[in-house]
Chains A and B, each alone.
Chain A
Amino acid sequence: MNKINREKFTALSFFLSPMILMVVLFYLVPLVMTVYISFTRMRNWNVEKYLTEFVGFYNYQRLLYMFQHDPTFKAVILTTVVFVGITLIINVFGGLALALATFFISEKPASSFRLLWLLPRMSPIAVYSLVWYYFFHGSEIGTLNSILMKLGIISQPIPWGQTVPWGAWSIIIFVNGLVGVSFGMIVFTSALNQIPKELIIAARVDGASAWEISRKILIPLTKWHFLYVLTWQFLSLLTTYPHIFLLVQWDLVNRDYGTTLALYVFNTAFGRGEQDQGLAAAAAVILSIIGVIGGFVTLKVLQFEKMMKRPRGDF
């Protein structure tokens, strides 16, 4: 190794080793451990007893069996499909709608609204859940119930979250949708701001309305961002659970129809009562396989690699 190379090596190890250490410690090692646990009978975190007790594909077979015969697990899978599908549509189109709407109003109210819609993402998850706990509460103290009763639409409070399946689904979709919308909104807003103003001014001079401008100019020019938000949010929705964790924990929503697969994994490994880490790990492995495939498809579709240029400051 000549001098330049050795210097470069020293510098690189200085800059990169803490990050690599963290990735190894908290991504790679745990990943291997999760796969490992999925082949053991680990339960109740009894590491001493179960860590070396191999059961082969037993946990995966159990998952398959549950998928076919267990109504609770069937409800979880169905909930995951419905939840991801509908929330994805809300996130993408809600984000686009918000971005377009704030694009056509003056800067001051626009940025206030954008900020307001970041609130769900920024506020602590426990406070956010607390807000919706009271909003959708099934008795007359629930805000939604009391509004509808005051308006005379309903005479009895409705236990929204315990009305299965759509009551429970609506709540978890609504609560997560609000968090996700801001992602689409911000990406689309920055996309809209990159569009040359001349295009819009020209269309405006020709007498185009806001709706026509959106449909003919703005939306076609944000195609890449649309794909980006769609695939990215799909991956996120498949795997996030913190925002619905407390709603289920507090019994605001029905346990079976308020639990997605990701939350199921967490509750099976760390929840109340009997914990079954072997089963949870097997489900987590399946979830990761879907996630990784989705991640690679995303990279290919969006051609992220083209965005990575060689650094200029190197010689």
Chain B
Amino acid sequence: MKDVETRPSKYEWVIILAILFASLPLILGFSLLVLSSFSKEMVTNLDLSSFRFTLENWINVFQGKLATTGGIRTNILKVTFNTLVVALGVAGVVTFISALSGYSLSRIDFRGRKHMMVLLLILHAFPGVALIVGVYLLYRLTFPQSPDIIRLYSFFYVILARAALEIPMSVWLMKGFFDTIPWEFEWSGIIDGASRIKVWWKIMLPLIKPGILAVALFAFLAGWQDIIYVRTFLIDQTLATFIEANIEAEYSHMPLIAAAGTLYLLPTIIFFLTAQQILLQGYSGGIKG
């Protein structure tokens, strides 16, 4: 992609040093957090003498012991599991819906198609905070009476509501992936008399597996990192609300919170190492920030 002639090597190291310097707070902040999770005390003050290696925080995290003394416990595995359910749920809903509508917007011409695409763009730019008050009222009005299913309902609702936020962008992304497939592929199927639904299922979906993977990955990360929606709608705790609640709690042992934070960061790190290309390309889709 890049030829040697386009870039000089003379000043390369100057540029690299400059970016490195600009990235310093970022590198420092994240590494100190990870380092602290393996230490008896927080090492945020750059005093490396306060770093004493221990695995105690991680053991305590998995046992749910929130303080080094006292008996305050949280089932962190359950909390992690809740986070995972929300993230997988959002990924599933978003991928399914955008694979459906992305195909029709890419391949079928119908009246209102252009308007629908403009509308999706506007929706993506629409203030989420203007919606959440109304979304919460809808939640209150549809809240089940029976106490047994309230918890389940809150999972169900938070997944759908959070997925809805991702849908405009994911549909656009998925449409882009469908656009890259030459239409001769499906044409032969249609000539043979197969319906559009059959063509979509049998021919197109296998061809855009990379696109599906990318959309699913972004939706997963969106659900995994969310704090506003889980905090507002979900009755159970996730890692985000766990960290939120424990920063101010008098009893919490901070290196342990650092360990929980590092645990929370793990999927991001895994995707970082395994799916770099997808991440670099996929984020060009335009996500808020």
Contacts and interface: CB of A to CB of B under 8 A. Distances in A.
Interface in B108-156: 108-110, 113-114, 116-119, 121-123, 125-138, 140-141
Interface string A10-49: 0110111011001101110111111001000000010100
Contacts of B42: 134, 141
Interface stretch (A60-68, A72-80, A108-116, A160-168): A108-116
B246 to A, nearest CB: 10
B47 A146 contact: yes
A311 B279 contact: no
A122 B221 contact: yes
Given A22-B97, A130-B257, A269 B247 contact: no
A214 B11 CA distance: 15
If over half of B's interface residues share one DSSP class (helix, strand or loop), that class is named, otherwise mixed; here it is helix
Contacts of B247: 130, 133, 246, 250
B6 interface: yes
Interface in B238-261: 239-241, 243-244, 247-248, 257-258, 261
A58 interface: no
Contact of A124 (B19, B98, B239): B239
Interface string A289-315: 001101110110000110010111110
A182 B183 CA distance: 34
A75 B132 CA distance: 24
Contacts of B225: 122-126
A12 B243 CA distance: 44
B129 to A, nearest CB: 5
A180 interface: yes
A12 B280 CA distance: 32
Contact of B276 (A111, A182, A294): A111
A15 B283 CA distance: 25
A254 B28 CA distance: 24
Contact of A147 (B46, B125, B288): B46
Interface in A106-140: 106-107, 109, 111, 113-127, 130-135, 137, 140
Contacts of B271: 122
Given A11-B195, A26-B161, A116-B26, A31 B280 contact: no
A197 B6 contact: yes
A159 interface: no
B101 interface: yes
Taking residues whose C-beta sits less than 8 angstroms from the other chain, chain A's interface range is 35 or more
B266 to A, nearest CB: 10
A109 B263 CA distance: 27
A240 B47 CA distance: 35
Contacts of A193: 1
B125 A201 contact: no
Interface stretch (B53-61, B68-76, B163-171): B163-171
A122 B125 contact: no
Nearest to A116: B23
A173 interface: no
Given A29-B134, A180-B289, A124 B240 contact: yes
A111 B280 contact: yes
Given A15-B100, A291-B130, A117 B227 contact: no
B127 A140 contact: no
A253 interface: no
Contacts of A296: 122
Contacts of B28: 135, 143
Contact of B44 (A19, A98, A141, A250): A141
A19 B169 CA distance: 12
A17 to B, nearest CB: 9
A29 to B, nearest CB: 6
B289 A239 contact: no
A143 B46 CA distance: 7
A15 B127 CA distance: 27
Contacts of B224: 124
A259 interface: no
A105 interface: yes
B108 A8 contact: yes
A241 interface: yes
Contacts of A299: 118, 121-122
Contacts of B114: 305, 308
Given A32-B134, A176-B289, A11 B29 contact: no
A285 B130 CA distance: 6
A255 to B, nearest CB: 14
Contacts of A117: 23, 26
A285 B264 CA distance: 35
B217 to A, nearest CB: 10
Interface string A202-229: 0010000010000000000000000000
8 contacts: A14-B100, A15-B104, A19-B97, A19-B100, A101-B15, A235-B125, A240-B289, A295-B121
Given A45-B136, A313-B186, 4 more contacts: A15-B108, A22-B164, A143-B29, A246-B244
6 pairs of A and B residues whose beta carbons are closest in the complex: A30-B134, A26-B164, A313-B183, A33-B134, A239-B127, A15-B104
